[in-house]
Structure 1
Amino acid sequence: MNFNIKIQNQDFVLHPFGAVYWPEQEVLLVADVHLGKVSHFRKHGSAVPLKATSQNFLKLDQLRKEFDPEHIVFLGDLFHSSMNMEWNMFEEWIGSIDNQVHLIAGNHDIISPLKYQALGIRIFPDIKVGGFHLSHHPENIADHFNICGHIHPGFKMRGNGKQLIKLSCFFKSQDQMILPAFGEFTGNYFMEPEEGDRIFAITGKEVIAVK
């Protein structure tokens, strides 16, 4: 189940997969996919199922079907490192869609921009639109609300007993929202919210406002 919020009189739909749809701009925002990480793990002997390489593409296609965005903006770290078999899968996926795809370069994005340009993908250091600043790293710019990734935010939900559930989350402060990592096996940095911060945890099936 999605969770709808308003920021500066704009609508944003938080999805259980960790993506955000911005209907006024017809933009799907996705952070930290880290394509190629599964293949990297397998290459170094980790027992990761081969089918895990396709999960990110299956989820992206579900989001495309649900929202039909004109634009898909990846907020950095689209690929985990250098090219591997998942680049070929990415090429095939790009060739199968009709959305305009843009990449805000992150610290892991070391693949040549020429490779992306050959696929019709535009690369930016950041994007400013309508009072919003889209970036990879969290940044503070006057008069702009920052939407970003990089941190891989998570939250520890505690039960009445000793139960502890660790979930990825959207982390929203007064002038910023950090998206959870979209990719498989990316890990979390557990956030400590302050007064006024909001936490929207994701389970894969629903978004839960926990603070």
Structure 2
Amino acid sequence: MSDCATIDFCGEKLLAHPMGALFWPAREVLIVADLHFEKGSSFASRGVFLPPYDTRTTLKRLSALSRRFKPRTVISLGDAFHDRDAEARFDLEDSALLTSLIGAHRWIWVLGNHDAHPPGAFPGEPCAELTLGALRFRHAPGGDEPGELCGHFHPCARIRIEGGVQRRRCFASDDARLVLPAFGAYAGGLNILDDAFGRVFSARPNVWALGAGGVYLISDRLFVPEAGAPRLRAGA
């Protein structure tokens, strides 16, 4: 799969896809984080009007990955729904598409801070965290043991390239913990150089940036901080 990067993590080979998902071939598991369904309609309710198609876009991308990898299990690492009323704002077509996707797989909802309660309108298996083999699945970092996959932080990197700077969502790992990028169409991003990541990783992480045609391991010498922001101090 030439557009995927292989990440060796705690004895397992994981495929990182340019849409921001991981596929675990040995277990036939597709992993996504921070879908943030109905974020656009949440903003609209507060007078910030965005095109109301973020849920549809996110679902179509999930559907494409389902066709591509044919997973037996899908794990959503929390914050699938942007707020407690998000399910009620789904339109009928989006609701049918998500229900169909869930019905085609074993579907696991790891609960997050935006969706601390299990969904009421959609099936699936809710849990606070999940362990499969050597890997542990949580929304946010929750322990010191190796093998943790989580979301929550929406990592991205500002990368210096010839002619300018590009901002890209990214995967980040220090070999003990792997943080996924946000998958949702309207999910924002936190610069990988932010001090928050110094408290997540015990060592400077490897970073794989999402590109249009692949996922690329990027040297930290190319990272650009936000204006006026301090650089990451691993272990801080």
Question: Please, what TM-score do these two structures have when normalized by structure 2?
Answer: 0.80
Matching of residue 78 in structure 1 with residue 80 in structure 2: yes
Aligned residue in 2 for 1:101 = 107
Aligned residue in 2 for 1:177 = 178
Rounded Cα–Cα distance in structure 1 between residues aligned with 2:171 and 2:29:
17
Aligned residue in 1 for 2:69 = 67
Matched pairs, number? 206
Q: Deviations over 1:110-131 (max 9, x none)?
A: 4x52615xx4311111011211
Deviates more, 1:172-181 or 1:43-52: 43-52
Letter aligned with residue 115 of structure 2: D
Matching of residue 40 in structure 1 with residue 38 in structure 2: no
Rounded Cα–Cα distance in structure 1 between residues aligned with 2:111 and 2:79:
7
Deviates more, 1:86-95 or 1:175-184: 86-95
Q: Deviations over 1:118-158 (max 9, x none)?
A: x431111101121111100023343x311000000011101
Conserved? CA contact 2:54–2:184, under 8 Å:
no
Q: What's the RMSD between the two structures over aligned residues?
A: 2.1
Rounded Cα–Cα distance in structure 2 between residues aligned with 1:198 and 1:153:
12
Q: Give 1:46 deviation, angstroms.
A: 3.1
Rounded Cα–Cα distance in structure 2 between residues aligned with 1:87 and 1:74:
21
Report the CA distance shift for 1:203/1:38 in structure 2 as closer, same or farther (over 3 A).
Answer: farther
> Which ranges of 4 or more aligned residues in structure 1 deviate by more than 6 Å?
none
Letter aligned with residue 198 of structure 1: N
Aligned residue in 1 for 2:118 = 113
Deviates more, 1:3-12 or 1:146-155: 3-12
1:136 to 131, 134, 139: 139
Report the CA distance shift for 1:135/1:6 in structure 2 as closer, same or farther (over 3 A).
Answer: same
Q: What are the ranges of 5 or more consecutive residues in structure 2 without an aligned counterpart? A: 220-236
Rounded Cα–Cα distance in structure 2 between residues aligned with 1:113 and 1:47:
28
Q: Give 1:36 deviation, angstroms.
A: 0.9
Identical-pair percentage: 27
Aligned residue in 2 for 1:92 = 96
Aligned residue in 2 for 1:151 = 153
Question: Please, what TM-score do these two structures have when normalized by structure 1?
Answer: 0.88
Q: What are the ranges of 5 or more consecutive residues in structure 1 without an aligned counterpart? A: none
Conserved? CA contact 2:54–2:186, under 8 Å:
no
Q: Give 1:10 deviation, angstroms.
A: 1.5
Report the CA distance shift for 1:87/1:149 in structure 2 as closer, same or farther (over 3 A).
Answer: farther
Matching of residue 10 in structure 1 with residue 12 in structure 2: yes
Letter aligned with residue 137 of structure 1: A
Conserved? CA contact 1:36–1:80, under 8 Å:
yes
